[in-house]
Amino acid sequence: MSTDGPVVNVHVLFFAKARELANSSRSNVDVPTEIVASDLLDQLVSRFGLTTIRDNLILAHNESYIDNLSDSILFKEGDELAIIPPLSGG
């Protein structure tokens, strides 16, 4: 992943449609220690071929939703990042 500052390695999880498009349920990615959620999402989308569902994706950092895509996320080594397509539980 293209970055300038310090990077950490995090686990990225894919679910449902995102898992099928990425052809994988799990991957390890180097991310900057601080990054705006929408920028991170854009990079992940282009890297894992998720462009078709980009506008409906939401991120969860360490099992908590990132409600606002303009927020910054602070990462530590080994953090968990989930790519969450629209839910359909129930």
Partner 1 sequence: MDHVKLVNNPIDIAHIHQLLADEGCGASSVFVGTTRDNFQGKKVVSLAYEAYDNMALKEMKKICSDLRSKWPELKHIVIYHRLGTVPVCEASVVIAASSPHRSEALESVSFAIDQLKTRVPIWKKEIYEGDHDSEWKENKESIRPKKSLSAFNYAACPCKVEESHDVPRTLVQIRVNDAELAKRLECFVNRKRAEINSQNVIDFKSSFADSENDLSDSCARTQSTIIKQEQSNCHLKVRRVNNRCGPQQMELRPNYELELNKLMGSRDGQNDPSKEMRKSLPNSRLQAIESYMGLSTDNEENIFTRIKKVENRMLQLESISPEYRHFTNLEPQSMEPPPPKKIRKKSYSAHELSVFIQKMKDGREMNE
**Which spans of this chain sit near partner 1 (rule: CB under 8 A)?**
13, 15-17, 38, 54-58, 60, 63, 65, 67-70, 82, 84-90
CB of 31 to partner 1, least distance (A): 19
Is 31 within 8 Å of 3 (Cβ atoms)? Answer: yes
CB of 46 to partner 1, least distance (A): 10
Cα(61)–Cα(82) distance, integer angstroms: 6
CA dihedral 69, 74, 86, 49 (to 10 degrees): 90
Nearer to partner 1, 8 or 58 (CB): 58
Strand partners, 82: 13, 60
CB of 15 to partner 1, least distance (A): 6
